[in-house]
Structure formats: C-alpha cells, structure tokens
Amino acid sequence: MAAPHSLRLNFPEHRLARLSLDRVGKLFVLRAPKRFDAISVLYGPPGSGKTRLLGSLCRKILKVSQNKTIQMMRASEFCQSLRDAEMANRDDFETLQKQLIDLDLLVLEDIQLLKPREADILARILDERTARRNLTILSTSIAPGQLTKFSYRFINRITSGLILELPALGPESRLLFLERKLESFGTKIETQALEWLAGLVEGSMRRLQSICNRVHSMVRTLGRPLKRSDLEKLFATPGHLKKAISVESIASKVGKHFRITPKSMQTRSRDKEIVLPRQIVMYLARRLTGMSLQEIGEFFGGRDHSTVLHACKKVEDQIGNNISLSGTIRQLEHDLA
C-alpha cells in the first residue's frame, strides 16, 4: 500500500525562515542588486524540513520566472559530478564548473558532508557566482560557524550572506503534525495518548514520521484505537522514543528471516535471494527510521538516493499484489516496533 501524500503544514518555528526565503526569492526574480544577498545558508537538524522548504522556493520562482535556470542537488551529487569530470579530462572539469557558475539559482544541500578539498572548489565557484549576482542557497545540519573542518576561506564565503535557522518543532507543532499525519493514515488514537506522545518525541519531522509509521503499524496489528498504555508498551521508555530504530537492526531482522547475512545485502549482488531482502530493508528503513534516502544508500555501499527510492516503490507495488509478502513485511514491522 502506498504511503499517504506528505503533509503541507506551516509551523510557527519555521515562519521566519520561510518568510526570509520568500523575500530572497522575490529579490532574486526582481534582480534588486542593492538588497540582494548572493549567498544564503539554511541550517537545522536532520529531518527539520530543509529540503521541503527549498523545493517549495524553487517551484515558486519557476512559476513566476520560467526562464530561470535552476538546479537543486545534494552535496553527494555535487561531489560525484566533480569526480566524474576529473576522471574524464580537464575540459570536462572546467565545463562542469562553468555550468554551475552560470546557473541563475544553485541550491546545494547537506554541505556538511563535503570534504575540505571539495569545499575549496565550491568556494571558487561561489566567488564566480557572486560576481555574476547569481543566487546560491546552501543547507547544512550544522551551524555554519561550527563547520570547523573547512578552510577559513570557505567559511568566510558562506557566512558572508544571509544565515537562517530552521529549528526543531515545539510541543504544539509536534502535536499538530502527529494529529494530521495519523489522520491521513486513517489511524485512530486517544487524545490523551497523542498528547503524551507529542510531549516526549523529538521535534524532527523525519523522526515524527517514523513514530507515526510505527503507531500505524501497531493499530493495524491490534485492530483498535491506541491508548496511552499501548504507547508506553510500544516505546518502553521516553529514551526509546529518542532512539531511532537503526538500519543495522532492520538488516539483521530481515536477514534472519530470509536466512542471509546483512553483509551480503550490502554487496552489489543481483541474485534474487539478495535483491528482495535488500529492497525490503531499504523500504523498512525509510518507514521506521529517521534516515534520509541518502543515508540509507550509504549503508548499502554508497548507493544513490534514487536507487533507494526505486526499491521502496517496488516493494510498495509488490505489497499490493502479493499477500504473502505483505504479511511478511507487516510481521517484520511489528517485530521491529
């Protein structure tokens, strides 16, 4: 069964960042040079909604200015592009840099994952982009001033413009997210139990999504609305709420079920007895953990996030057509939860 559509909620904790980015977008479209910061940095904890907010900005800009050239990419994609171009020849490397420099808007996510050398290359690109008044927006899970592994030159470049924080959600916003998400699942839970859960779980939207998936799985298993006592059993202790299920534990559980080792699923093997369990681990990791597609891919030997997304969709399709597989996955979800 496919997951319900993602929620589009505006939280008060994100209001300042959202309005500031909207202003950046408007000035960029108008090309207002005196009030225009060529570089903006958005930082916040993993799962706080940075990708969602930046994606929304890109869509808004394209809607009113379709001739703009825009590229949104992750740090890992940026690094891979650099490596591929360097391995080809110097002309390809210079062509790539020119393409990145000439973009009207470049959005680069998770810059904390860059290596120092790659950050220095980016610093040179930023200098050229700034000189051309092209807009660059960077995201990071670490405050720019704390990216101490990078050179002074790079830190100086990225802190020269607008810096915006996207903080974790507070209790009221967490309650709103849980209510709306579980409602979209058609999952019923007593109000007192929901308030108890919102008061304990961390504010990351990715983490909240993981919690909702686990609650939904338990409701399907029990066949009735959950009470607070059910949640206390499900999460054992408040500390357990803050500790996400690991992809390692999922791989171990799935491997044991299919009688293969977790290590075999991390290889490039295309054997049928390996491929399906690997896809199931990716699917469950996306549902039950706070990990991004990129982080899940890293566990499986550095696979691209699109590979993980493809695996998840394939499992979802099979669940709808294979009663046996659907039962297996529901049991695995229940055991892991």
**Statement: residue 27 has pLDDT above 80:** yes
Tally of CB atoms within 10 A around 321: 8
Dump pLDDT digits (tens) for 207-259.
788 788 888 888 888 888 888 888 888 776 544 444 457 788 899 999 999 99
Dump pLDDT digits (tens) for 284-300.
988 887 677 877 888 88
In the chain, DSSP assigns E strands to 39-43, 70-74, 105-109, 135-140, 162-165
Which residue, among 183, 211, 216, has the nearest Cα to 198 in the 3D structure? 211
Whole-angstrom Cα distance, residue 61 to residue 147? 29
Q: What pLDDT was estimated at residue 312? A: 92
Q: What pLDDT was estimated at residue 35? A: 59
330: exposed, middle or buried (Cβ count in 10 Å: 0-12, 13-18, 19+): middle
Tally of CB atoms within 10 A around 90: 9
Percentage with pLDDT > 90 across the chain: 31
**Statement: residue 43 has pLDDT above 90:** yes
Q: Is the pTM of this model over 0.75?
A: no
